[in-house]
Amino acid sequence: MDPGKIHKVSTETKFKQPNKPDILYKYQPITEYSLGNLREGKLWSSFPKSFNDPFEFKHQVIGEPGQSDWDELYKNSDMISVVCLTEVPDDLLMWAHYANSHTGFCMAFNITTLTNKVGYINDYPILDFTKDKTNQILDWYRIIHTKSEHWQYEKEHRMIFIVGGETHRDYPGKITSIIFGAKMSEEHKTQIREILSDSVTYYQAELSTTSYEIRVVQI
Residues paired with residue 160 on neighbouring β-strands, in sequence order = 82
Q: What is the dihedral of CA 102, 104, 109, 114, to 10 degrees?
A: -90
Residue 131 vs residues 7, 58, 136, 137, 185: alpha-carbon distances, Å: 18, 19, 6, 10, 54
Least confident of 34-38, 135-139, 190-194: 135-139
**Residue 107 burial (CB count, 10 A):** 24
* Average pLDDT of span 142-158: 95
Q: Provide the mean pLDDT of the chain.
A: 89
What is the three-class DSSP state of 54? coil
What pLDDT shows up at residue 1?
47
* Per-position DSSP letters for 77-107, written without gaps between them: GGGEEEEEEES-S--HHHHHHHTTTTTSEEE
Q: How far is 104 from 201, CA to CA, in rounded Å? A: 16
Domain count, the chain: 1
More confident residue, 159 or 75: 159
What does pTM read for this prediction? 0.89
Confidence band for 145, pLDDT divided at 50, 70 and 90: very high
Residues spanned by the domain of 107 = 3-218
Q: How many helices (H) and strands (E) in the chain?
A: 6, 14
End-to-end CA distance of the chain: 51
Q: For residue range 6-31, list pLDDT tens digits in order.
A: 555 555 554 556 677 899 999 999 99
**Does pLDDT of 33 surpass 60?**
yes
Based on the number of CB atoms within 10 Å of its own CB, is 117 exposed (0-12), middle (13-18) or buried (19 or more)? middle
Q: For residue range 70-113, list pLDDT tens digits in order.
A: 888 788 777 888 999 999 999 999 999 999 999 999 999 999 98
What pLDDT shows up at residue 120?
96
Residue 50 vs residues 41, 78, 80, 160, 199: alpha-carbon distances, Å: 23, 10, 12, 15, 32
Is residue 84 within 8 A of residue 156, CB to CB? The reply is yes
Taking the alpha carbons of 30, 35, 38, 42 in that order, is the dihedral positive or negative?
negative
Nearest alpha carbon to residue 180 among 85, 94, 102: 102
Q: For residue range 166-218, list pLDDT tens digits in order.
A: 688 999 999 999 999 999 999 999 999 999 999 999 999 999 999 999 999 99
Confidence band for 51, pLDDT divided at 50, 70 and 90: confident
Q: Residue 214 carries which side chain, given as an amino acid letter?
A: I
**Residue 49 burial (CB count, 10 A):** 10
